[in-house]
Structure 1
Amino acid sequence: MVSDLILGIESSCDDTSVGVVGRDGQVLSNIISSQAELHSVYGGVYPQLASREHLRAVLPTVELAMKAADVSHADLKAIAVTRGPGLIGSLIVGVDTARALARGWGLPIIGVNHLRGHVRSADLEETRVEYPAMILLVSGGHTLLAHMTSPRSIELLGSTRDDSVGEAYDKTARLLGKGYPGGPIVDKMAASGSARFDLPRPMVNNGLDFSFSGLKTAVRMLVERSEQLDQDDVAASFVDAVLDVLTSKVSRALELRKSSSLIVVGGVAASPPLRERMAAVCAEHQVRLCLPPVKWATDNGAMIALAAWDYVDNHVGADLSPKANLGLAAW
């Protein structure tokens, strides 16, 4: 009987995903039920619709993941589930489903911090990270820098004071009349444009915190001033500003903390220009760049399952009682 497998459920935002992963990061399956088309009309995630769609999709997604992995519940060591941070309605669907499955199958349940899941995604399928490691986590809901001396020791160095970089991408796509999610759209437009507009680089030389609300406002004012603007040039100017900020912050963090690796994770880590910039930063500072394969950059159940092994191996539990504060889960 196989016992070194964990089933991971991820439902923190708008994707329902379930994965089956081994202790070494081997991914037996990972199924994603995407809601992107459902939310595209709103230019972003509509929380009530997201939770309803999770409720409809979660059990069929579990069944598909188990079938794709060719395992039964008897082959599992535990069930892992994202316990926060995220949209509370979406989180509740995942947590309640995991509770029910754990009780029915007689398995332990592990609540996993969504951000730890992203960090561990860099080791899916292949061990990449060498410690100590610097982390740049960039997604639709989060932008932060942290330092890890080991998988159990994480020090937060800086985070966004307002909007995440992923949210700024989505808003820019909306201002340009494009769809959702905005990241791939804006990057594709930027590749055909010229960064000829002088957009601000908020807090670029100020500490390790981030701010993107001013950049969003600058893009909106630029678009509103003229209807004749080349949209590809606007996108290129926006992306260039974002990359300048991220590059500056990461370089400063690497100067402050000794690191063997730079881990770049989160949905925005799928961005080709960001990957190129971070490769250049790593070459300059002589550290190893650790990127998850693009398919593991966005939210997925596999990363939650792999992160759960950190809890299992260190005999650490997480509060999944009905009164647990799911929105403020600790690392």
Structure 2
Amino acid sequence: MKEIDSFESIDSSDDDHEETENSDQQNSKLVKPYKKDCCDIFLGRTLQVVTVFLLLLSNYFVYQLFLRRWFKEDRKFYQMVRGIELDNTGTCLFILYQTFFFLAVISYFKAAFSDPGFMQKLEPPIGLLEDNLIGFCQKCEDKKWKPLRAHHCKICQKCVFRMDHHCTWINNCVGLKNQKYFILFLVHCEIYCILIIIYLTFSAVLVYQNTPKLFMLFIGMTWKYLVAILFIVLSALFIFLINEFLSDQYDCIKTNQTTVESYKEKYGRPHSFFNQLQIVFGQDQFYWLIPTKPKYNSNYLELLYKGEELAEMLQSNSDFIEDHFNHQQSEYYNAFRKYKVS
């Protein structure tokens, strides 16, 4: 299942590589730039506010209805030492869910406000790639060089290298430079939702066990408990949605595609799954689960292949053009280095 729902959309991607094959057609076409209207701005900002609000509100209710209720430390001295009014068990549970809360929030803000890989104005790689592989974006105002794996986002009105999709949920594109943050937000948010369900369900069981009669349970139920039930349901819904998104991200990483490219049935040069993870998350595995900026092992000269082309090349053991650029003894190596993603 591809990411097409109320939060995710690839309809914002305008790929004009096919247009660049015929320069006469390019000159004759007048491309009207897409203007971001008030609905785009309002929806994106609203989802940002709602997401952060739900995270903060769930954090508050988990503390009040579970930790503070069942693991409260009555001794003032220990409260002062720990800085929170929880006993040893409550403090450990508090640290556990707060860790994933902060990781999810930091990853979300980094995915939402960092550069997804907007293309800078670079000299076209004349002499490194064949002329038919060099195209220029007809939708950007400055008509700059557009790598094969870059796609123009009509909402951001910029070309994004290895653009996966424009995500309304984070109000930003997902590209090479923020894909790690986007995936980490999904991972940490899912773990956080799982902890919410466990904590609040366990609290509900304890409330039931400590209520002498079943009908008294409903009479004594306040709005806090109704909200807790709502958060259990919302957390389960979010886990379902996040699993769909993570499944799509996994497929794209495994096949060296973006969501946009998968609809065009095109692939990047095949690598091992571990190497693919290094491209997205960085070369240091220690930082893969932490929202730090990775060192990219990628370049703007990456090519796209159709499935049949890849099958033929792999069967005949043909060399990929990218291998010549990375070979330090190659005459192309020094000229290629300025096209490395940084």
Higher strand share: 1
TM beyond 0.5: no
Structure number with bigger Rg? 2
The structure whose RCO (Cα within 8 Å, separation 6+) is larger is 1
TM-score (norm: length of structure 1): 0.27
